[in-house]
Structure 1
Amino acid sequence: MTRLSVEMLAADAPAPITSAGHAQLGIAVLVGIAVIVLLITKFKLHAFLALTIGSLVLGAVAGAPLDKAITSFTTGLGSTVAGVGVLIALGAILGKLLADSGGADQIVDTILARASGRAMPWAMVLIASVIGLPLFFEVGIVLLIPVVLMVAKRGNYSLMRIGIPALAGLSVMHGLIPPHPGPLVAIDAVKANLGVTLALGIVVAIPTVIIAGPLFSKVAARWVDVPAPDRMLPQRASDELERRPGFGATLATVLLPVVLMLAKALVDIVVDDPADRTQRVFDVVGSPLIALLAAVLVGFFTLGRAAGFTRDRLQQTVEKGLMPIAGILLIVGAGGGFKQTLIDSGVGQMILDVSKDWSIPALLLAWLIAVAIRLATGSATVATVSAAGLVAPLAADMSTTHTALLVLAIGAGSLFFSHVNDAGFWLVKEYFGLSVGQTVKTWSLMETIISVVAGGLVLLLSLVL
């Protein structure tokens, strides 16, 4: 985008809802974020309520009329849910189908049957990465814990040697790869190309998950040499089924939306003619909505019917898949409202003006902002949506590639050092039977490695692309 077009966009943009100067806006941001952090960490308030209150506080401190601050928040909430809400819902349905039909177990068992010894940590990271594509992080952990404990016990492996690669695969997918909520919100906020972001996300994710998973697990197993907890393994979904989907059909269903979105990105690069019929077709089938919808519809047959599900059982699976995402949708929506309040108050433009005098690269700035919010709130999703709102104006004069890298920088920063204010920290601690110190030396350090390695790779790619 040329400087002239940026100036024209600035001229056409709506006037800020406040006339506050840079100092007052800076204070408003700090106070707003501090309120959100305090409400989440000290008063244990749900992130949706904390983001709502923090947005209104930010508007008030910035000197915006309350009615305009409310309008900004509700507008941002509505547009964010409209942009990514359906995608999150479709992803949840696909994930539930994968879990309930035994498709996930089929992938796990097939890969484990062909892996042994030194290959087992690599098999675990592969399983987690494939299964983690359509699943939310918490669901993925619950699904994979029985597998991790079973493999560690039967093979007499250190729990960390098996567990860390599985956690790394899930975490990298969660932070960097659409259609997970965080990356989708960031893509929507900075107006990035989803296909390009997905392609570059895979490029960044592969070396990141190798370093933070199988390689780091060697070190983690020496630091925390613990066996799998001696307790009853949770029952797997497929244990109650007479039959389950085939490996090939399950894998094809999981990868279908990724293939369609990548195909669209490739056609856009090769053809680059909006009037071309081929490009128009791929613009439709490769859009995230159609790609995920196609995977869900295909999954009804390749997963649901293959497992012997009746129509009523399929309907129940869809309903159960949608129920847990209410909280996620509200948090993502409120994050969008917070983002819009930042933009309408002029905070985004303020950061754009101030950062012009800094020597710090925009991608590094985005990573650092996401890191700070992640450390404060403990939520990768809150860190992503807040950081995306703050740095969105920086994308105005970026190329398509660098805008996608901006999304990945935010996603990488949002994973930095999970600690006691993160629900994921306690989930890992309890499932693996670790102490707080052991969890910090394994899980928290693994998350930091993911964040730093992915952030470094993003900066490296920005120099060559």
Structure 2
Amino acid sequence: MPFISVILGVLLLLVLMMVLKMNAFIALVLSSLAVGLLEGMSPNDVMTSIQNGLGSSAGSLMLVIIFGAAVGKLLTDTGGAQRIALTMVHVFGKKHVQAAAVITAIVVGIAMFFETGVVVLIPLVFSIAMVAEVPILYIGLPVIAALITMHGFVPPHPGPTAVAGILHASVGKTLMLGLPIAIPAIIIAGPLYTRLFKKSFLEVEIPKGLYTEKKFTEAEMPSFFLSILSATLPIIFIFIKTIVEIVWPNSSLRSYTDFIGNAGTALLITFIVSLFTLGLSRGHKIKELMDSFANSVSGIAMILLIIAGGGAFKQVLIDSKIDQYIAHLMEGSAISPLILTWLIAAVLRVSLGSATVAGMTAAGIVAPVAIATGVSPELMTLAAGAGSIGFSHVNDAGFWIIKEYFNMSLIKTFKTWTALTSIISIIGLLGILLFTQIAIVS
């Protein structure tokens, strides 16, 4: 039974890490090997699958994580992040700085993939928390709740847009329905859920190399404009790409906007621009700036390995055809199409780890059901998105990104990240079912 293989693989991973205290990367590779063998794959096929998973996962995110960390380190080393944090605290006040950070994450999350948004916003989370004198996770958890919710619910984000295409849903209508469902989910899973924890629980140590705690003087800090430009330039490039895709899909501009709007390219360009705007133009030497880059890369080396290991685990699950087994089990069910869509996506998410794979696979399975029953394809799109972002655990790259960037234990990551993704998923489903009572989407 594939389910038993997945469960045994996850249990082995937890034992290796929590009981035997094994490095997460080694534990992920060994667990991937075990699941593949349990599913009847030959040893050579399992190793090929692991290698493909390592390469595809690390490869797709390497530029994003490296140059995202480099831009973040430049912002902190030159005082740019401190300038943004001071300005936000001054404008919104310490009492409302969490809300300001969440609004920022919602805007960022519309255009950016979750992992990119985390890399871009993490330095600001650290800086805002330091300036506002609040625990890191008090700001961090609501921010990641906003990012992952937008990842699953709101076009023109690539995930929901792709699912909408499979189900022939209106992107505009999905956006209008998705936002009023997403915002309550963000509030409940972010600021409200965070209040359940004691202040001491929300305190975490910042990983070495990702943040500079130096206090800059007014003269040492760059202007707010230059600081916010470095923080938002990747977002601007990705927004431009998204707008051109929607408004002028056949334009000759696409080759250029697709290039600059690629997350890796956007962060590379931002890093080069920031070298001048935050560094050289303000008297910093090139050696000093390159030392900052080297320190940022050394700080995320293990993060990259662990993300690659998570990709290997996910790839073995896919190559062993577990997704097809699950899809076959779900076909022909008499459950409500919306609940069925959510359930398929959620089961695939738990089994495979990838939100994108879960959402798109679920959409492919239920597409004939949507046509036959006449259920709103927009709500079906949102149901697939809600199911695909919930219940994140050790086979999800996002789980390891959050764990490592916030320097949390496995148990603490389950209590925070896994719990808040589950809350978002369930609140999303309830919101979708509530909308079925409204005539305009029936």
Counterparts of residues 16-415 of structure 1 (less than 5 Å)? 23=1, 25-116=2-93, 119-123=96-100, 125=102, 133=117, 135=119, 142-149=126-133, 165-172=138-145, 175=148, 203=179, 207-213=184-190, 220=196, 236-239=213-216, 243-273=220-250, 276-305=251-280, 307-358=282-333, 359=335, 360-367=339-346, 370=349, 384-385=353-354, 393-394=361-362, 396=364, 409-414=387-392
Secondary structure of the residue aligned to 1:277 is coil
1:289 is displaced (CA, Å) by: 2.2
Secondary structure of 1:115 counterpart: helix
Which blocks of at least 5 consecutive residues in structure 1 are unaligned? 1-22, 153-158, 179-185, 374-382, 417-421, 430-435
AA at the equivalent of 1:172: A
Deviation string, structure 1 residues 189-236 (Cα, Å, up to 9, x no partner): x9999xx9xx97x9576554444555567x65xx8589x99xxxx983
Structure 2: segments with no counterpart, 5+ residues: 109-115, 152-157, 166-170, 204-210, 368-376, 395-401, 436-440
Q: Quote the Cα distance in structure 2 between the aligned partners of 1:446 and 1:76.
A: 23
CA deviation string 1:148-202 (max 9, x = no partner): 42xx6xxxxxx7xxx7651333332664578xxxxxxx96xx9999xx9xx97x9
Residue correspondences, number: 382
CA contact (8 A) 1:413 1:455 kept: no
Larger deviation: 44-53 or 396-405? 396-405
2:428 to 440, 457, 465: 457
Length-normalised TM-score, structure 1: 0.66
Deviation, structure 1 residue 350: 0.9
How much has 1:446 moved relative to structure 2? 9.2
Alpha-carbon distance in structure 2 between the residues aligned to 1:73 and 1:243: 47
* Conserved? CA contact 1:94–1:134, under 8 Å: no
Deviations 1:260-303 (A, max 9, x none): 21222222122232xx2123322222122222222212221222
* In structure 1, distance between residues paired with 2:278 and 2:405: 32
**Cα contact 1:363–1:409 (8 A) shared by 2:** yes
Encode CA deviations 1:54-113: one digit per residue, 9 max, x unaligned: 111111111221111111111221122222222221211111112111111101111222
Return the letter of the residue paired with 1:300: L
The two structures have a TM-score, normalised by structure 2, of: 0.69
Change (3 A) 1:334 1:174: farther
**Could you tell me how far apart the structure 1 residues matched to 2:11 and 2:302 are?**
22
1:318: how far off? 0.9
Indicate if the aligned counterparts of 2:346 and 2:358 stay in contact, CA closer than 8 A.
no
Structure 1 position 316, deviation (Å): 0.8
Bigger mean CA deviation after superposition, 336-345 or 237-246: 237-246
- Residue 216 of structure 2 aligns to a residue whose secondary structure is helix
- In the alignment, the residues of structure 2 paired with residue 56 and residue 141 of structure 1 have an alpha-carbon distance, to the nearest angstrom, of 37
Contact kept in structure 2, 1:125 and 1:165, CA below 8 Å: no
Rounded Cα–Cα distance in structure 2 between residues aligned with 1:87 and 1:169: 22
Identity, % of aligned pairs? 25
In structure 2, the CA distance between the partners of 1:423 and 1:344, relative to structure 1 (3 Å rule), is: closer
**Root-mean-square deviation over aligned CA pairs:** 4.6
Q: Does the 8 A contact of 2:393 with 2:418 survive in 1?
A: yes
In 2, the alpha carbon distance for the partners of 1:43 and 1:136 equals 34
Distance 2:37 2:230 in 1: 48
**Cα 1:257–1:404 shift into 2, 3 Å:** farther
